[in-house]
Copies of this chain bind each other. A is one copy, B any other.
Amino acid sequence: MKKLIFTLSLLIITVTLLTAQKKIINLPDLPGYVTLKCDFHMHTVFSDGQVWPLNRVDEAIRDGLDVIAITDHLEYTPKKDFIPSDFNAAWKICETYAIERNLILVHGTEITRKMPPGHMNALFIKDASLIAKDSVWDNYEEAIKQGAFLQWNHPGWKAQEVDGIPKLYDMHKRLIKNGWLHGIEVFNDSDFYPLAFTICEQNNIALMGNSDVHAIISERYKDPEHRPMTLVFAKERSHDSLKEAMFAGRTMVYFDNNLAAKEEYAKPFFYQCISVGKPYFQNDKTIFFEVTNKSDVPFFLINGIKDAPASINLAANSVTRIAVSKKVTSSLVYDVSNVITGEKKVLRIELKY
């Protein structure tokens, strides 16, 4: 009897130990850049979140992230009867803890206003308490003074825009004119805003995607799901390189099984994920070759050319066998339905075998 009990107990402990480590996210680097996996939007008990700030660091490490920003609301602190306002609390609690765990922690806060202008994250700030001012424009001015990257959060959030469609109000135009609007969330939690794509393209703004988590990451995204994240193509894995890359707009958004990015990043990224093998066999009519997808992202290829398979699913971390008629001559062209490169555009790719 004893033996059995201890076997069972042992098991639980072992599993716990093994899973409390940083998992490897299989997403490639781009030539000349390292791909940093980032989440720039999350909350703790210091605003309307449900956990202590250190949990956000632990969750990020387990998820394999390189970078997070904790962005508690300046203006919305529903727990203030029990927890006094300290807009830099999460930063103070996590700074050393994150360094010791090799996680890049970006100092941030959320400027939380009605639409317009809605919610805006100030990232790379120095002191959130100085940003807390009555006028929203004063908020922005102080943030910019501190060197902030301003990110417009969930621009079509239905609680603020009933039709779910992002709109550029005067305040946004003024920010853009000043060069103060650096990023827009095209994805937040579970909402995708295709129109934000166009706004970003037209105004040279970085595409962002974040979790905006308030509760527990592992309960919201059950393995093997993953939280939405912003991929940043940085010159190296450091706080400064990250910042440079973000202001330069070298980002991609990864949500569910989808990628969203400007084509200049989406295209090389796709080709870094996959490799096309030489044909390993042929018979009278058919040539057989394999496509290896060594990334965590499946690719759904559609709109195949004549005589080729109409669609192909390149499952994540898998090798897909492709049998193609000999009538086709060594190259297949497809749309990748889940690699979004514009408001109404997906990536078009070629498989040469």
Contact = CB atoms under 8 A, between A and B. Distances in A.
Q: How large is the interface on A (under 10, 10 to 19, 20 to 34, 35 or more residues)?
A: 35 or more
Interface stretch (A45-53, A137-145, A152-160, A202-210): A45-53
Nearest to A99: B281
Interface string A294-317: 100010101000000000010101
A215 B59 CA distance: 12
Interface in A1-20: 1, 4-5, 7-19
A68 interface: no
A315 B12 contact: no
Contact of A55 (B24, B50, B298, B300): B50
Which applies to chain A's interface (DSSP): helix, strand, loop or mixed?
Answer: mixed
Quick one: copies of this chain in the complex?
Answer: 4
Nearest to A194: B2
Given A16-B220, A102-B321, 18 more contacts: A4-B338, A5-B338, A9-B190, A21-B315, A21-B318, A21-B321, A22-B318, A23-B319, A24-B292, A50-B55, A55-B215, A55-B216, A82-B83, A82-B89, A100-B281, A100-B288, A100-B323, A102-B288
Interface of A: 1, 4-5, 7-19, 21-24, 45-46, 49-52, 54-55, 64, 79, 82-84, 86, 89, 93, 99-102, 190, 192, 215-216, 218-220, 222, 225, 256-258, 280-281, 283, 288, 290, 292, 294, 298, 300, 302, 313, 315, 317-321, 323, 335, 337-338, 340, 346
